[in-house]
Structure 1
Amino acid sequence: MKKKMSENHHVGLALFILCIVGLKPSFILGDTNASDAAALNNLFSSMNSPGQLSQWTASGGDPCGQNWKGITCSVSRVIQIKLSGLGLSGSLGFMLDKLTSVTELDLSNNNLGGDLPYQLPPNLERLNLANNQFTGSAQYSISLMTPLKYLNLAHNQLKQLAIDFTKLTSLSILDLSSNTITGSLPNTMTSLTSAKSIYLQNNQFTGTIDVLATLPLENLNIANNRFTGWIPDSLRGINLQKDGNSFNTGPAPPPPPGTPPIHRSPTPKSGNRGSPSNGDDSGSSSDSKSSGLGAGGIAGIVISLLVVTAVIAFFLIKRKRSKRTSSSTDIERSDNVNQPFTLASNDIHQENKSMQTPPVVETKKLDTSLSMNLRPPPSERHKSFDEEDSTPRKPFVAKKHAVVVPSNVNVYTVADLQIATNSFSVDNLLGEGTFGRVYKAQFDDGKVLAVKKIDSSALPTDTAEDFTEIVSKIAHLDHENVTKLDGYCSEHGQHLVIYEFHRNGSLHDFLHLSEEESKPLIWNPRVKIALGTARALEYLHEVCSPSIVHKNIKSANILLDSELNPHLSDCGLASFLPTANELLNQNDEGYSAPEVSMSGQYSLQSDVYSFGVVMLELLTGRKPFDSTRSRSEQSLVRWATPQLHDIDALSKMVDPALKGLYPVKSLSRFADVIALCVQPEPEFRPPMSEVVQALVVLVQRANMSKRTVGVGSGSSGANDYM
């Protein structure tokens, strides 16, 4: 009996040891970094758990130790993900940014879709997502991948290019072909100093290709777009494919005076690998030899010319000084009437110095958007130095360059707009904003637009040229969540801007009109509106160059289309109108950041604060300031902020119109974003790219969990978030 028990004991012990040595339960991580494994688990689930990915699991597992298909590791970190051409579907999830050691991500030639996520590995050198079904934007997060050398997003359904190329100086190959990307090429593309091949064919790009002129390109394909203007001479010697555009075929106009010549970085060729300077030196050397002059002969001629010039200048100055002396005596005898036009020698020195060295301008507190239109005040312009004429001369003012409004912007007459708005009747009044009234315009061809009449207080002087310049800047804004400019009118002292019309009105109307006049917004569309508006602000702040401060973020300026997609209006107006700050400070509706209320100065951070107030409106259904409420609840931010991290208090703050139908976790995360945006110290508020990222994560997690409830306008499915 004892012997049998002993045998059983040994057998059990052997089986236990065998289990420990031979089996590796899926919930125990082995060699792989835990964060990397979790990110791949999430990716596997997002791609609908495809069977063709051997060893992959939705939770746990050991990607490095178990040799997951397509995964390459170094020690415990994943460094490559290569899953091309496997018929994968679904999306990419929301955790790829955790893969901080991955240098190559290749998911090309699959059926992956949805919006291209923000969450991509941040240290990629190669990113290939070509031949899929990705939608939305080429995301801003790609802008931060400084090691990136190869980027291929071709053959997808991308509509926007939100990438800032300033930091992508290592990028050698860029392929954005065969999408539906609109707008002009961003100015930041001039930073692509390592670019050898760029493929932009089969999109809807507009404007010129001048930003590519200085790049060291060998291959450029821009066929089948809507480019205009002239092809820079520097691009004519490369492998260029340009058919299917509207380029001008005549000679290009000369550059404006003072424009430096374009020097494109030369491409090294076989047999001539020396530096450009060496080539120039040899050329000049051969020229001097062929002319029969040595280096010493040339130097002698130059020195002789300098000596002759110096002698002539000496006699001219001496003669001029004698005239000034007599002139000065005459002026003193006539009670110094023209004394301001007499300059002492020290004054002349200082004046010459000021002409050569521009004054240092204090820009610490300068609104970045104003840098597009800075002009020196008249007091800083310099007088003529010709003192022989005692008649005062007007200061020289350089003529402004001709403002060219993009060809897709229509020009209307006042008569056209009077007919379309029924003489700007009250029946067609859509609303009244800080800068003027907005009217609905119905045209004979059935087109409906929104016409904004700019008040004379916003444009105090009748400067048609300045107004056209403002319109030109606004016309270049191109984002799916920014209200598009259709045209403008500037005649008879009237200045009007014409925008696309959105039938669902403003977010303010949806939230604050009586229930009889508006449809209640369920939770999913509210998150969708917040995300879209955040993307519009991210575009203005981080894609536009220079950045544009909106200054007037409020629910009345967020317009909703038939699918409740948000469109931010008035973009650029407050940045470019001369009296905008003064007018905005007179009409504080509870959206202004504390520093704006104190100083009247706007910044990117004050926009973030105002956006946080709009999110509070979406959460609570309350106005930013409501004098009808008790004193402690009149200011929405002051009342709500202390309760944002208390889940019980938060549930009592929620808009009653939601009737309790919302995901609790989603509500809590939404409140966390609000708390970050409305911090009183501007330096602690996040940039809009981080706000967008947080909202995208919120949306994707909600979609993954498939837990959304609600009734009202629109369906209640998870897709309502997007």
Structure 2
Amino acid sequence: MVNWGWNLTSEPCIDKWVGVDCSQSKSVKRIVLNGLDFIGTLDAASVCTIQSLAVLSLQNSTIVGGIPVEISNCKHLTHLYLSGNQFSGNLPGSLPQLSNLKRLDISFNNFSGELPNLPRISGLISFLAENNQLSGQIPDFDFSNFEYFDVSNNNFSGPIPSVNGHFGSSSFLGNPGLCGEPLSNTCPSAPPQPPKKGSKSSRNRFLIYSGYTILGLAILLFLVFKLVNRNKGKGETTDVERNGVAVDSSSNKASGTSSDLKTGGNRSEYSITSAESGMASSSLVVLASPVVKGLRFEDLLRAPAELLGRGKNGSLYKVMLDDGVTLAVKRIKDWGISSEDFRRRMQKIDLVKHPNVLPPLAYYSSKQEKLLVYEYLQNGSLFKLLHETENGQLFDWGSRLNVAASIAEALAFMHNELGEDGIAHGNLKSTNILLKKDMDPCISEYGLMVIENQDRSSIAKTDSLKTQNPNAGRVYSTFKVDIYAFGVILLELLTGKLVQNNGFDLAKWVHSVVSEEWTVEVFDKSLISEGASEERMVNLLQVALKCINPSPNERPSISQVAIMINTIRDEEEGSIISEGLA
């Protein structure tokens, strides 16, 4: 800790303790110590003597014990992040006294017992508690206030409070005792009370309940009739396909799970005729990786699968294997590439390794769809880091510059190694930049060749570059699309703004502001407030503008971009050293 400046003879704000951010009035506002493998317990009594503390983040360490009741003394706390530790025991009853709390993340711990009265915190907009051992009923939250909510993989039971469509089943999966929407299993209805003799109102209520019951049975029989006829006539999946994951009802009964991962949207292809369609266990190709050594296709079929997201290009699932290994599985349907071309592509990508590119661990290919298996990284994405913290204030200028340099170097390496094969990323965006345990960025889903709509025009613009190779223009354009996409990521890092939000076009907005010579208005206000170098931010902005040049032929190569960003980073590091010696 001494190397970080933490000692009793210095001041955290004046002497700039590592992990401590202060306000202009020299009061501690944030303590962020993630992924540092701390061992021990949380001393909330000491921490909460800092009355000005707003953000406490101790993610991904080895902290044990419970959350002390003294946590309620942190009266101004707005963000409490404790995920990825070994906390245990009940949540303290004093937790709801944190009346200013907005975001609470206790996921991936060993908390147990019932939740305290968290709905009492009226300003709470994010509650993440997945992968614990919490039990009892889910409190009656006002879900309309929440941006994020996840209590999956716990021991909750009883009916789910009305979410009014704000959250899907993935927020509640893995709790066998839960029932009601948005889960598929309905709650058992309580039997109506017998009417009292001579009570006309009780008799009327009984008749009403009976009518509802008869009507419900009629509707249920009608639905069953329609589903049976549809399966006989068309061979489509029934209601066992949930959240985009098709489930074979026979294997479901055997395994006792309700969300096993099947890769087909068509039941007939993956039931009795699976051998004929080529879907055998050997069709899962496991690449050289100790993480999934010996993985079989049946293991993926049996494993519980949580839907993480669904886009126009496919769906992403979090899959928990029996041995405790957690994987991310990308499912792509109707991709216009043959199984043989897909196999060659995966083999070539497997030969190219970079520490900042997430490699595929295994893959499966059929005529209609493809599966890609990756290691699951629990720290989330660059998008989440930028847009789901308080105005990005936990993500300072130096960290953003390092992320930009790391991504550029990794992308340059991949372009150089796979350029002759025409394998670019094709779908680069901040949600596909994942964060490893040390918060180092890692490019995921490389080589899927899905071109974003925002730059499809570049294909036509480069058609004139085609020579004897009829695919030359398209391949060239795809690499240039990566450059454009990386430029947009740079704009996200600099502005802190979403790429598209209700029609907002980030690149167009930046161009308009810069053309009016109000360049400083582009930058994230949190970067300005921390005193980041305006000169170097402008230099990085110029790199971004080069990358999003409307003419693909005028965009630099990613290798040139990496050199430019490293030059800016070297200047930043040199400035820090000079200030330290002054």
Q: Does TM, scored on the shorter chain, surpass 0.5?
A: no
Please classify the TM superposition score into its range, dividing by the shorter chain length: 0.3 to 0.5
